[in-house]
Amino acid sequence: MKMVRSMNYKRVQELRWDPTLGEWVMVSNIRDLRPWQPQDFCPFCPGTPETGFGWDILILRNKFPMLNEEPIPPGKYKFYSTAPSYGRCYVVVETPKHDIDDISDLDVTEIYKVFKGVKRKQEDEMRDPKAIYFLFFRNKGKEIGVSLTHPHSQIYVLPFIPVKVLRELINSNRYYSKKKQCLFCDIVNIEKEYGERVVANTDYWIAFIPFYAHWPFEVHIYPLTHIQLLSQLNTELTKDMARIVKKVLCGIKNIFEKPMPYMMVLHQAPLKGIYTFYHMHIEIYGMYRMVGKLKYAAGMETGGGNFTYDSTPEEAAHMLRNTVEIKCKE
């Protein structure tokens, strides 16, 4: 149920600093004005005022953004720290087709066009001296709050490094300082050696459920080449990324009788600085523990901060690998 705005509605868009955890919280009260799963109109279909005709993919400004290129001044508080919510939020409309269930229903060439478009957008955003991080992500499923069902993903151009990526940067830098090797390359090599958690391979990429998975069907996809940024991928690597993402998402969709909701997030280095110790990768969080049963980040996970895993990553990888091999042909 939506909140009803009063006549004295005041727009608030700002970053608020959490001094207890040392991280930014993005606050935007225009987000609750966005349309919620409309049945009679889709703003992303061809022919709307936003989309027009004659396109394969579109990257549009989000009408209800968390961040703004011209942010309003943040509030002033005696004790708490705030900052302008500078940045840009985009919607990536991945296809003109409205009635497909998932991006994995597209062919590899169509998925490649999506990644190619996102890569070009990143190259544009890197010119902005205030842009610190480029976060590309995809949410799938009403169960996790997707407001529009037309196939789409999102981009946040951020003025800070997301805290999860920051932790990866800190730990991989520490590992590199001690061993003079990439932490992520070593993880990829050990997963290739064991093989039991690998769910898919292509010429240039590998997908596996990590030894330390948090979510039931959490899949990490790595390029075999040590690369830091999406913008560093050549055409061949980008096409092969489309190929392995299609395989993995097809497996996640078909592993149970009901398609699984998931989140897919690109982890890469920040746009500014040198991070040769970091390794770009994709993380996919498949949310079902079993058919129709969501894994919730409940008391231990949300309140305590440490995840629990109700099965084993090895069992989940076996199930997903079999599904990919049987049901997910290119």
**Catalytic residue positions?**
152
Nearest 5°: CA angle at 115, between 44 and 166?
105
Paired with 14 in beta bridges are: 27, 84
> Are 197 and 208 a contacting pair, CB within 8 Å?
yes
Q: Supply φ then ψ for residue 143, to 5 degrees.
A: -60, -25
Residue 323 and residue 317: Cα distance in Å, rounded? 10
Question: Which residue in the block uniquely carries the two structure tokens 């040198």?
Answer: 274
Residue 322's closest CA among 220, 260, 252?
252
Q: Supply φ then ψ for residue 99, to 5 degrees.
A: -95, 15
Residue 140's closest CA among 311, 325, 323, 287?
287
> Are 181 and 278 a contacting pair, CB within 8 Å?
no
- Two tokens, residue 23: 């991280």
> Are 289 and 216 a contacting pair, CB within 8 Å?
yes
DSSP-derived pairing of the beta strands 133-140 and 152-158? antiparallel
Burial 269-282 (b: 16+ CB within 10 A, else e): bbbeeebebbbbbb
Using a 10 angstrom Cβ sphere, with 0-12 exposed, 13-18 middle and 19 or more buried, the burial of residue 313 is buried
- Two tokens, residue 296: 């919730």
